[in-house]
Amino acid sequence: MNEQEIQKRRTFAIISHPDAGKTTLTEKLLLFGGQIQVAGAVKSNKIKKSATSDWMEIEKQRGISVSTSVMEFDYRDYKVNILDTPGHQDFCEDTFRTLTAVDCVIIVIDGAKGVEAQTRKLMTVCRMRKTPVIVFINKMDREGRDPFDLMDEVESELQISVRPLSWPINQGQQFKGVYNIYENNLNLFTPNKQMVTEKVAVDINSAELDDRVGKADADKLREDLDLITGVYPDFDVDTYLNAEVAPVFFGSALNNFGVQELLDCFVEIAPSPRPTQAEERTIEPAEPKFTGFIFKITANIDPNHRSCTAFCKVCSGKFVRNAPYLHVRNGKTVRFSSPTQFMAQKKSTIEEAYPGDIVGLPDNGIFKIGDTLTEGEQLHFKGLPSFSPEMFKYIENADPMKTKQLEKGINQLMDEGVAQLFINQFNGRKLIGTVGQLQFEVIQYRLENEYNAQCRWEPISLYKACWIESDDEAELEAFKKRKYQYMAKDRDGRDVFLADSNYVLQMAQQDFKHIKFHFTSEF
């Protein structure tokens, strides 16, 4: 039975540069999955025009996604799990971690802007992990660039071969639709955000094509298609699964166009859950015993209950409600009476889950990112990095009456992996380190709105925080003595050196040969 369930699962992340239309695409996929009836209708009582997957207050105000949402829906015979990731670069750490929990990726590119910096960075992670990617070129109903130029740019910038599986007929004001190469039919464009467009099976060389899109565009399309067959090899699913070739689709997510073609092809060719690499061995999805790891922790999904949720990716076996599982890091047996699955913030309790599924577990502070759950085997999943932060501020309590709330808020937000907390050993002050400026605003906003606590930031100029360790006790002591003003501890009590310039760091590395300096917390 397990085998069938595994074959039905498709778990993927949508990644892109901010504003390329990723959250809009997620919405439309959910529309086809029958999970929402109206695009943008999250709270059905008062239809607010904000996307279903952006449920945190700050996201609605700013119109950006700052935290990865998990949603699942059924489509045809498949069970699809989408992880919508933040595109904003200040939250790339959240996205990198999400990529460890998915089997494939859809990259959204803005047809007018082409490939942007953030997309390149994320693609590097996909290449590293050999994750198959499909490219969706969005916003074809706006004036943009020549599709062939875009193809070349995707190839050179993302360092992957491409194969168009649909092709646009004109663009911008003149946009007529796309020809679906994968299914050999024509999709005509009618700009409408709620309705689905009409599909016509039409022979590419017939006069009917001329009637439908006009002679000039029809001829151009025939030429383009000839060129495509000439330039690109035929599409072969295996090259896609081996992450050598990226299939490309064109459309307009906002106008719900080209999305269903993407989804139909996606569920057919995308991989079902793949083996996961643990430090001890490789775990096959079809193994009978349950294993899973926590790749994300979120505080306050439900504003009425101040609790955390840990997201667990099921790697093998079957997860069952109330069954006893071993929490490997602290060696305790845990049971979950109310595991949940999500449709943005609407969550429902589930009885069981299979490999590829993402389960929300209520967390009262027992989990950290990267924790493993098993049926007793000692396993550790690797590759959930915490990067060395590059921006630092002291965090101070702005309201002495709310000290407890501030403590609790900081602890829960740090558990989410939004930022990292260090305690300066010299003056006992708390330092927050992040990868981007925006995170400080998010922390302050969430402390105020979710924990009713006020914080104040004080600047400090530091170059980098790095974890240090050494087998030579004496040298480590000497180093700490010399640098006592710049020594801190992280939340796990590990030694962290706060270097205030690149020069200081290089000198320290030269003077103390036996000390190892680490720039991620994985070592």
Task: Select 391-518's CATH number: 3.30.300.20, 3.30.300.90, 3.40.30.10, 3.30.70.3280.
Answer: 3.30.70.3280
pLDDT-based confidence at residue 173 (cuts at 50, 70, 90): confident
Q: How would DSSP label each residue in 133-152?
A: EEEEEE-TTS----HHHHHH
Q: Is the pLDDT of residue 41 over 50?
A: no
Mean pLDDT (whole number) for 28-49: 52
pLDDT of residue 46: 35
> pLDDT tens for residues 277-308?
788 888 888 888 998 888 887 765 555 555 67
Collect all residues with Cβ–Cβ distance below 8 Å to 192 and sequence separation of at least 6.
255, 256
The pLDDT, as a whole number, for residue 206 is 66
pLDDT grade for 487, boundaries at 50, 70 and 90: very high
pLDDT tens across 329-378, in order? 888 888 888 888 766 446 677 788 888 888 888 877 788 778 888 888 88
Domain extents in the chain = 9-69+84-96+103-269, 276-374, 391-518
CATH level 2 (architecture), domain 9-69+84-96+103-269: 3-Layer(aba) Sandwich (3.40)
The pLDDT of residue 42 is 37
Give the pLDDT confidence score for residue 488 in this predicted structure: 92
Give the pLDDT confidence score for residue 383 in this predicted structure: 55
DSSP 387-430: BPP-EEEEEEES-GGGHHHHHHHHHHHHHTTSSEEEEETTT--E
CATH 3.40.50.300 fits 276-374, yes or no: yes
pLDDT at site 75: 84
Q: Does pLDDT of 32 surpass 60?
A: yes
pLDDT tens per residue, range 203-238: 666 667 777 777 787 788 888 888 888 788 888 888
Q: Distance between CA 285 and CA 86 in Å, rounded?
A: 28
198 vs 389, residue with greater confidence: 389
Mean pLDDT of the chain: 78
Full-model pTM: 0.72
How wide is the angle at C-alpha 399 spanned by C-alphas 59 and 411, nearest 5°?
A: 55
pLDDT at 354: 87
Is the pLDDT assigned to residue 67 strictly greater than 60?
Answer: no
Mean pLDDT of the region 11-38: 74
Residue 398 reports pLDDT greater than 70: yes
* Residue 134 tokens, joined: 């499909």
- Asked if the domains 9-69+84-96+103-269 and 391-518 are classified in one and the same CATH topology, the answer is no
